[in-house]
Amino acid sequence: MKRIRCPKCDQIILFDETQYEAGRILVFECTECHKQFKIRLPHPKDNQDLSKEIPVGYLTILENAFQLKQILPLMLGANIIGRSVKGSKANLAFRTVDPSIDTTHCIITAEKDKDGKILFLLQDAPSNTGTFLQNQLLQLREQAHLQEGDIINIGAATMILKLKDE
């Protein structure tokens, strides 16, 4: 799955790039602001590591007070989670109007162990209001291992980890 953002409202749009041939031009319409825009699918380079583009898990984000549901893909490496604003350093930013969620709130790092199994580590970015794992506040610089179904709370948002089906 590939993530792109609407150039007008910054809404995340997911699509399966494997369904289209390289070099093809695709036209999208944003579901939020209805802006139409085009992208060209790049030609893969022979030496490019494509494993970083394949999601290794997903975060389902439910906003308690604002009743929004979003599903975001987790990639290998550092997934910086936060509120979506222009210029945000979060590579996994989501739409919210909750001011208690920082633009870089927490980090989920996905890495492979020596056996090839994916490990997930959670830490606070640090944020102003804290990151909670299973209702336990993470301390400064504390890292916690995540498993399927773990519940993470930031502000009024609840996030649930789902591993990629093998």
pTM of structure = 0.69
Residue pLDDT, tens place only, 109-151: 999 999 989 999 999 998 999 999 999 999 988 999 999 999 9
User: What are the chain's domains?
Assistant: 2-46 (no CATH), 51-163 (2.60.200.20)
Q: At 73, which helix (H) or strand (E)?
A: strand 69-74
Residue pLDDT, tens place only, 33-44: 999 988 888 766
Answer positive or negative: Cα dihedral of 110, 12, 86, 159.
Answer: negative
Tokens matching residue 125: 């970015």
Spatial separation of the C-alpha atoms in residues 52 and 44, rounded to whole Å: 13
Tokens matching residue 30: 């944003």
Q: Alpha carbon of 151 to those of 52, 143, 148, 160: distances in Å?
A: 25, 15, 9, 5
